[in-house]
Amino acid sequence: MDVSKADYMIGVDMARKGFSPDQIGRAIEQASPELPTRKAGHEADYVARTVKAVFTHPEVVKYQQEQAKEAQQRSSRRERDSGPSLG
Q: Is residue 18 one of the residues assigned to a domain?
A: yes
CATH number at residue 33: 1.10.1240.50
Nearest partner of 4 among 27, 41, 38, 36, judged by Cα: 38
Helix 43-54 and helix 21-31: axis angle, to 10°?
130
What's the domain range around 37?
3-81
CA–CA gap between residue 75 and residue 69 (Å, rounded): 10
Which pLDDT value is given to residue 84? Answer: 66
Domains in the chain, number: 1
Question: Can you give the pLDDT of all 87 residues of the chain as single tens digits?
Answer: 899 999 999 999 999 999 999 999 999 999 999 999 999 999 999 999 999 999 999 999 999 999 999 999 988 887 777 766 655
Quick check: is 87 in a domain? Answer: no
d(CA 81, CA 87): 13
